Amino acid sequence: MTAWDNADGVVVATALPYTPRVGSPADLRVDFDRYARHCDWLVSEGCRGVVPNSALGEFGSLTPLERRMVTRTAVEALGGRGTVLAGVHDVGSHQVVEWSWQAAEDGADALICMPPVSHQPTMSEVLRHFEAVASVGLPVVVCNNPAVARIDLRPSVLAEIAAMDNVVGVSDSSGDLGRLHRIRRLAPTVKVFAGGDLTVVENLLSGAEGWVAALPNVFPGDCVRLFDLIASGHLVEAQELREVLAASLRWESRSTFVQMIKFGMDYRGRYGGPCRPPRHPLPAEFVADAHRDVQVVSRYLEAREVRAGRGLGRMPGFADGAVQD
């Protein structure tokens, strides 16, 4: 069994930490040591793998060397304990193929790829794009993320791509609650992932085998628990947890999604840190919302631990300035 075969479950689109350094792009350097510790922590909390160079991971703000090093760091940090699903999104198929070969050389288990991100491509361009990435030979997951790629890959198109050699999965972030049923019917041989946070429960109930997720950067153990409760049919407990996480799961629908995830990490005592341009600090009007949403979950976790007889005391919070790795 390969690491890809073990990718059912929660696979995290990882946030990328930067620290200030004059002379780096935007005077922010990628903190690879912190990123390695973050990947290790996610797997230790029960996540089945990580996605380096996702949209959440700000792949478009990286230099070519940084981007390659992000994948290498994830591979080394996991050391075979989880799946590394390397993001190879880019403008043209020639660039995607280059990222794919590099990911293969550096030990990634599989690739995840959006359609061309430069414009709204024709279906012919989409098919040629995925033919190119599939030719590299690693397992490929097709990422349907209309909000980023500006095109929605309908189930019939996904089925055509899924028929290509080496295409093994589809991650759908369309928000269409009936979509997964149609994908599973038209492309029964591929693994289907809930591709976002907002509709994850509905997609898991529709038969998604995994979740390519963002919120586990903040609450990994409880996102894994949500997945496991649904998978095991404990739907009452799952609904209770879903209601607690609901506001944070909706961050995905905001343009400040990446900043809110990093805010949540900082609040919880993990290092989220700043973003590189074009993203800038979380606007003041969103800070109160993010603060409230994370507090709701943190208080629930505290109460649950107390009920279990393992009182944690006060959680470290953003206001404390408590940041750990």
Query: Is pLDDT of 39 > 50?
Result: yes
- What are the two backbone dihedrals, phi and then psi, of residue 143, each rounded to the nearest 5 degrees? -105, 110
CB distance 283 to 29 below 8 Å: no
Burial class (CB in 10 A: 0-12, 13-18, 19+), 170: buried
- What are the two backbone dihedrals, phi and then psi, of residue 255, each rounded to the nearest 5 degrees? -70, -20
Q: Which helix (H) or strand (E) holds 134?
A: helix 123-134
Alpha helices, DSSP H, located in 250-283 = 257-267
Nearest Cα neighbor of 142 from 91, 212, 202 is: 212
- pLDDT for 257 equals 94
Q: Cα–Cα–Cα angle for 307, 47, 266, nearest 5°? A: 70
How far from 168 is each of 88, 113, 248, 311, CA to CA, in Å? 15, 12, 30, 44
Q: How far apart are CA 158 and CA 113, in angstroms?
A: 13
- pLDDT for 7 equals 73
Q: Average pLDDT of 187-203? A: 92
Domains of the chain with CATH codes: 4-232 (3.20.20.70)
Query: Which of 61-70, 154-163, 170-179 comes out lowest in average pLDDT?
Result: 170-179
Q: Quote the pTM value.
A: 0.91
CB distance 35 to 67 below 8 Å: no
Q: Cα–Cα–Cα angle for 217, 221, 227, nearest 5°? A: 100
Q: How far apart are CA 184 and CA 43, in angstroms?
A: 28
- What are the two backbone dihedrals, phi and then psi, of residue 33, each rounded to the nearest 5 degrees? -65, -45
pLDDT band at 2 (very low <50, low <70, confident <90, very high): low
Q: How far apart are CA 173 and CA 196, in angstroms?
A: 5
Q: Average pLDDT of 160-189? A: 93
- pLDDT for 248 equals 95
